[in-house]
Structure 1
C-alpha cells in the first residue's frame, strides 16, 4: 500500500536494475509474457487504489510527468522540463508534444488539469495520489503545452512524488465517460494498454503500438517489444512457484524466501531483487486502544521480538531486518536508531514491571486487566500471517496473551481505520521521508497508530517545507526519534520484491520506489 528536493545517490545504477540475462537474438515482437502476480487488485484507477501491487501494473498503463530512476533521480517523461519559483510555491511544467492516450485523446495541459481536478474531488475518494499532491492541489493550463501547479505552502517532496505510478495521467475522456467505473477502464498514455480484467484472476494488457515517448532514462526507443502481458493473480505462493517452474509464467513476483534461496543457488533462472523504498515492512502500534495505549506495553513489544528470528521463521531468513522507520537508502535514514530496541526479553519484562504491570501466572495484568491483544494480518498475503504468527510466539514467551486474526482486505482496512486493531504488519512505499506524514499526522487516512503530538506535527510540517536537503535530513531524524521513543511503529524487515525470471526474459527494470517496468523487456522464443 505508499511518495524532491533531496540528496540523491550518484547516477548510473540503472544497469544493475535490469535483468542481466544475455540475449543475442532479435526480440520476438509477438511474444506474450505471463507474470505470476501475488496479490489481488483493488482498482486499476491510480487515483483510487491503495495497493502496492497495483503500482507496477499501473506503471505500465500510465505515464507520469516525471520519471524516477531506481536511484531516485528526477528525469523528464511527459514533462520535458520544469521550473520552480523562488518561494517554492509554483511549479511550471513544459509538456511533451505528440502524445496520445490509448483512446486517441491528445495529451496536453488541459488533460493534466483534468487529472488534478479528478484527484482532488471529494467524490473520487483518492487514497494515495491526493496525499502525493500535498498542498499543490491547483493546476492551471498556461497554454496548450504548459501547466502550472500552485501550492499553498512550499512542498519539497512534490517533484519526486509526481513520478509515482499513483500519479499516472489518465485520459480526461475516460474520466468523464466512466465515472465510478474508471478503474475497470484504465486509459493512459503508457507503453501497454488495457485489454481485460477478471477479478482475482488476471489483468491483460497489450502493446500500445503508437508509443514513442518512453522515458529517456530507460533508453528504449519506440513501442515495447512484448506484444501482450498477462498478470496472472496467484496469491497462493506454492501455486505461483509451481506455475513458474512449469513454464506457465516467465516472471514470478514475490518469490517465497525458501525458493528464492534454492533457485539462486541453482542458477536456473534470472534473479531480480527489486528494492521497494519507503518504510519497509513494519507494524503501526495503536496508541489509543488498551493495552497498547500504555507506552510500557509498546516498548515491551519492541524489546520482546527477535526480528531475525521472525524473518527466519516466516520467510527463510532471506530479508534483512529493519530497525528504523525509514529504510536504508532513503533520504534521512538514521543509522543511530538501529539499536534503539535490541532483542532483549528481560528488558521487555522489566519495562512492563516498571510500568505497573504484574505477572499473574503466565500473563501480565494491570488494574485487573490482562495484557491481551490481537495481531491482525491480511489473509490474502501469505507472508503477513506468517510474520504475525512468528511475532505472536515471541510475545507470548514474555507473558503477553496474543492472538492472531486473519482478515480479508476490506475487513482489515475497516479495523485499521476504525482503530479496532492493536498491531498489524504491512508495507508502505515512498520516495521521500515525507511518507511519515501519512501515518503520523492527525486526520490522515493511514494514521492507524492513532498517535497525535503537536510538536511532532510541527516537525513534519517543517520537513515538508524545508528546501535545504541537509536541514530536511535533520528534521526527519528528529521525527523518527520521536516515533521510536514513543514506540508507535515497529520496523520489521527491509521491503524487497524477490522477482524470478525465465532466462528467456531480459530487460525487466523498475522505477524509483520499486515498480516493475516492462517497456525495455524482451522475451525470446
Structure 2
C-alpha cells in the first residue's frame, strides 16, 4: 500500500529526527575512548523513580544494584549481600553485606545506608509490588549486616530482594519531601552521569566498582520507542546495541554487518475462557477450542518466528517451563468434543473474542484464532478495543474469550504471585474465573516451601493442572530480541535480571 505524500513526509521527518537523536555526537564503537551508543525501547516512566518500576531499567543499564541477584536456575545469588539466612525467628532474615562497596558519591555502603534505602522504598505511598503489603522492616545488625523482617513468614525473601525496584542508593540520595536522587548515588559498574528527561542519558564507567569493570568508558543511552527506528539506527551505525528489534529487521541488520539474537521472554499470550458462564463452563468446549488452535503455526507463520508455541503457562525462559512443543490443530477432535457438548450444525456455537491493539501481535493473533476456530465450526466475533475499558468487564465475567498478554514473573523470579492472582478462586486477576480447591491447596503450599527447587516443582505441577483443566489456551511465548553492531559480549538473559550494558565490549 502506498502512503499519501503527506504521511510519507511525516514518517520521513520523524525517522530523520530519531536517527539524528541516536547519533547525537556519540563516538563510534572503535573510538579510542571506548565510547558506545545504545537504543533502548522503554524510557523511564517517572524520572528513574524506583517506586515507578524504573529501578529495573537502572539495573539493566548497570547503574543500580540490589542485595541479591538471580542465577540462570532462578536461584538467589549474591549481589550487594554475600550471604543470608533465616534467624531463630522465621519471619526475619539476616543479610551479610559485601565489603568494599562504595556508592558513586564516594561514601561506603554500610548497614545504616541499606536500612535507609529499603525503609524508604517500603514506606512510600505506593510501594513496589515486591514489598507491597508484606510488612517489611529493616534494621542494622552491627556495621556489616541487616535484619529484614516481614509480617508473615516469607520463604522467598532472598529472591524478593533481587527485584530491580529495591536498588540501594547512598544516604545522600534521600531527602524529606522529594524523590531520591539517582544521579551519582548508586553502586553499579556504570555511573548515571547526566539525564536528558526521558530522551537520553549518559553513563560513565565506575572505576571504583567492587567487581569487574565494564569495557566501554562511556555509554550514550537513547530511548527510542519506535522499533523500526531502533533497527535503522543500528543498521546505520548510529548505535552499537539496540533492543526490541522487529522480526522484519533481522535480515537488513545482518546485511549491514550486525547480529540479531532472539531469546525467550517470561511472557505468555493466553486465550482466556470465561468458565463462569456458558459455553466455557463445560470442559469439553474448552478442550475443543484447545484442539482447534494450531499453536506451532501461530508462532512460526503468523508471527514469523517472533514467538515460541506455548505448551503450558511457562516456557523456556524459566527452568520449570515445558520444553516439549504443543501439538498442531486437530479439527476433527474439536468437532467431536463440540458434538459431545451439544453443539453442531443444528446448534452452532457463536462466541465473542476480545483483545486490544497495544501489543501489535494481538489483533493479528485474534484474526488467526478466529479462522482456526471457524474450521472447527465455531463462529467467532472479534472486537479489538481499549484494554482499560475491557478489564472491568472481563474481571466481572461479562465476556466469552479474551486474548491477553501476561508476564508470569512479578518483579522477581518466582511464579507464586501470578499463580495466586490469576488462577486461585479468590485471585484478584482471575479472568478465566477458574476455581479449584485442589489447585488452591497446591498454591497455598508455597507459603511454607523455602527451597527454591521445591517451589519450582510446585510451579510445574500447577501449570500441568491448568493444562489438564483447559484453563485458557496458552498460545505463544513471545521472544525478546537484541541487535549488536561493533560490539561483542552480549549474553541474553530470559529472566531479565542481568545488567545488559556492562557486558558490551567495543570492537577493535
Length-normalised TM-score, structure 2:
0.77
Alignment map for 1:443-462 (pairs within 5 Å): 446-462=429-445
Point out the more displaced range, 110-119 or 304-313.
110-119
- Following the alignment from structure 2 to structure 1, what is the Cα–Cα distance between the partners of residues 256 and 238? 19
Partner of 1:508: 490
Q: Measured at CA, do residues 176 and 119 of structure 1 come closer, stay the same or move farther in structure 2, by a change above 3 Å? A: same
Match of 1:228 among 199, 203, 219: 219
Partner of 2:260: 271
Aligned: 1:213 with 2:213: no
Secondary structure, counterpart of 1:123 in structure 2: coil
Q: Measured at CA, do residues 193 and 420 of structure 1 come closer, stay the same or move farther in structure 2, by a change above 3 Å? A: farther
Question: Do the aligned partners of 1:34 and 1:231 also contact (CA within 8 Å) in 2?
Answer: yes
- Following the alignment from structure 1 to structure 2, what is the Cα–Cα distance between the partners of residues 403 and 109? 56
> What does the per-residue CA deviation read over 1:70-99, in whole Å, with 9 as the maximum and x for residues that have no partner?
444543221122233478543211113454
Question: Do the aligned partners of 2:183 and 2:191 also contact (CA within 8 Å) in 1?
Answer: no
- Following the alignment from structure 1 to structure 2, what is the Cα–Cα distance between the partners of residues 229 and 289? 53
Q: Measured at CA, do residues 34 and 82 of structure 1 come closer, stay the same or move farther in structure 2, by a change above 3 Å? A: same
Question: Do the aligned partners of 2:374 and 2:380 also contact (CA within 8 Å) in 1?
Answer: yes
Higher relative contact order (CA 8 A, sep 6+): 1
- Following the alignment from structure 1 to structure 2, what is the Cα–Cα distance between the partners of residues 419 and 389? 22
- Following the alignment from structure 2 to structure 1, what is the Cα–Cα distance between the partners of residues 429 and 263? 24
Aligned: 1:373 with 2:373: no
Secondary structure, counterpart of 1:323 in structure 2: coil
Partner of 1:312: 300
Aligned: 1:123 with 2:157: no
Alignment map for 1:302-451 (pairs within 5 Å): 302-328=290-316, 330-334=318-322, 343-359=329-345, 364=349, 370-374=350-354, 376-379=355-358, 381-398=359-376, 399-407=378-386, 422-428=401-407, 430=409, 431-434=413-416, 435-441=418-424, 446-451=429-434
Alignment map for 1:181-220 (pairs within 5 Å): 188-190=186-188, 191-193=190-192, 195-196=194-195, 198-199=197-198, 202-207=199-204, 209=206, 211-214=208-211, 220=212
> What does the per-residue CA deviation read over 1:414-473, in whole Å, with 9 as the maximum and x for residues that have no partner?
676676674233241533343533433466565444434343222112134224566545
Aligned: 1:300 with 2:288: yes
Give the drift of 1:305: 1.5
> What does the per-residue CA deviation read over 1:166-197, in whole Å, with 9 as the maximum and x for residues that have no partner?
43335565455565x66998964332416335
Partner of 1:33: 37
Question: Do the aligned partners of 1:286 and 1:448 also contact (CA within 8 Å) in 2?
Answer: yes
Aligned: 1:490 with 2:478: no
Secondary structure, counterpart of 1:519 in structure 2: helix
Partner of 1:21: none
> What does the per-residue CA deviation read over 1:455-495, in whole Å, with 9 as the maximum and x for residues that have no partner?
32221121342245665454333312221233334323344
Point out the more displaced range, 202-211 or 479-488.
202-211
Secondary structure, counterpart of 2:502 in structure 1: coil
Secondary structure, counterpart of 2:403 in structure 1: coil
Q: Measured at CA, do residues 122 and 59 of structure 1 come closer, stay the same or move farther in structure 2, by a change above 3 Å? A: same
Structure 1: gaps (5+ residues): 1-24, 215-219, 365-369
> What does the per-residue CA deviation read over 1:35-81, in whole Å, with 9 as the maximum and x for residues that have no partner?
152x46544434333x9xx8355432320112323444543221122
Partner of 2:9: none
> What does the per-residue CA deviation read over 1:279-331, in whole Å, with 9 as the maximum and x for residues that have no partner?
54445444447665554444333222211221234321253312112223634
- Following the alignment from structure 1 to structure 2, what is the Cα–Cα distance between the partners of residues 227 and 417? 47
Question: Do the aligned partners of 1:304 and 1:343 also contact (CA within 8 Å) in 2?
Answer: yes
Q: Measured at CA, do residues 245 and 120 of structure 1 come closer, stay the same or move farther in structure 2, by a change above 3 Å? A: same
Q: Measured at CA, do residues 476 and 517 of structure 1 come closer, stay the same or move farther in structure 2, by a change above 3 Å? A: same
Secondary structure, counterpart of 2:287 in structure 1: helix
Partner of 1:146: 145
Partner of 1:55: 56
- Following the alignment from structure 2 to structure 1, what is the Cα–Cα distance between the partners of residues 175 and 367? 46
Secondary structure, counterpart of 1:140 in structure 2: strand
Number of aligned residues: 470
- Following the alignment from structure 1 to structure 2, what is the Cα–Cα distance between the partners of residues 411 and 184? 36
Question: Which of the pair has more CA radius of gyration?
Answer: 2
Match of 1:238 among 221, 225, 228: 228
Partner of 2:12: none
Q: Measured at CA, do residues 347 and 450 of structure 1 come closer, stay the same or move farther in structure 2, by a change above 3 Å? A: same
Q: Measured at CA, do residues 461 and 66 of structure 1 come closer, stay the same or move farther in structure 2, by a change above 3 Å? A: same
Instruction: Report the RMSD for the aligned CA atoms in angstroms.
Output: 3.9
Q: Measured at CA, do residues 232 and 330 of structure 1 come closer, stay the same or move farther in structure 2, by a change above 3 Å? A: closer
- Following the alignment from structure 2 to structure 1, what is the Cα–Cα distance between the partners of residues 102 and 57? 21
